Structure 1
Amino acid sequence: MSASDSERWRDAQAPGLDVFEDLAAAAFAALPQDFRNLARDVIIRIEDFPDDETLEAMECETPFDLLGLFQGNGLAQGGGMVWTGQMPNTIFLYRRPILDYWADHEETLGGLITHVFVHEIGHHFGLSDEDMEAIERQAESEGD
């Protein structure tokens, strides 16, 4: 690390919820248009951690185990129609677990947020891991 790199990081702070919202919006904007059209009604929420109920339901050992979560009825489960009283389909991105994972891996923060975001949207559509990887590659090439 050069002196200029260490200078740049010395006063850096972890990105807050507002920065994560911007990164999630950029990740969504970089997705293929057809994919975005299908996911336009999905709500995106950024939170520091999952709540205790979610951690218990997902059988997480620590609050850092879950990077993101899709809640709702995905298109693969007939979730294209909203019924009265049904909560909207929502994707949660969890800031602190994502930052923790980012600190331990050689991946850009934007790339990691895109990965988690695509994975959670993939649950909405019932996509395979291979389908999600192809969408991520397309998003990366459009973002370049």
Structure 2
Amino acid sequence: MTTDWHKHSAPSIAEFEAIAATAFKKLPAAFRDMTNDVLIRVEDFPTDEVLDSLGIDSPFGLLGLYQGVDLTRQSVLDPSALPEMIFLYRRPILDYWAEHDERLGDIVTHVLVHEIGHHFGLSDADMARIESDTAG
């Protein structure tokens, strides 16, 4: 089978947002419903400030980030200054995809579950269970 590679390119940010939306819709409904107002944003790379704050040298070293106070530490008495957000970093995810034998949608799902898991303070075992419920 030959493929005309001239017709293929890396997914744009808009296409990546569609991949993320599809991955999110495939997560278990109860898990999705708990996310409420968490926004999902796709950006090419994390900012230098984010990398510096996490002690990460390479902009390719971070695939996603949860920004906000996780539910285990939130208080109704402490209003959040920033909206709860999950960032998916397109270029690092694409780089990871190029180096591993995984489907892009599976990688995006993994990053989403991991970052949403931070929001809820879930264990690695909980996140693995959610991913396995999503696989199919």
Verify same fold: TM over 0.5. yes
Normalization by structure 2: what TM-score?
0.94
- Counterpart CA distance in 2 for 1:100 and 1:45 is 18
1:9 counterpart = 2:5: yes
Once the two structures are superposed, the pairs formed by residues 1-144 of structure 1 within 5 Å of their partners are: 2=1, 4=2, 7-78=3-74, 83=79, 86-141=81-136
What runs of 5+ residues in structure 1 fail to find an aligned partner?
none
Find runs of 4+ consecutive structure 1 residues off by over 4 angstroms: 79-82
Cα distance in 1 for partners of 2:13, 2:77 equals: 30
1: CA distance between counterparts of 2:76 and 2:69? 8
| Gap regions ≥5 residues in structure 2 | none
Taking every aligned residue pair, what percent have the same amino acid on both sides?
51
Report the AA paired with residue 76 of structure 1: T
What is the deviation of 1:79? 5.9
Quick one: distance in 1 between partners of 2:72 and 2:27? 19
CA 1:80–1:132 in structure 2 vs 1: closer, same or farther (change >3 Å)?
Answer: farther
- Number of paired residues? 136
Distance 1:111 1:88 in 2: 26
Cα gap change, 1:65 to 1:81, in 2 (>3 Å) = farther
Q: Deviation string for 1:95-141 (max 9, x for gaps)?
A: 00000000000000000000001000000000111110110111113
Verify the 8 A CA contact 1:17 1:48 in the aligned structure 2. Answer: yes
Q: Deviations over 1:17-48 (max 9, x none)?
A: 00111111111111111111110210111000
Return the letter of the residue paired with 1:70. Y
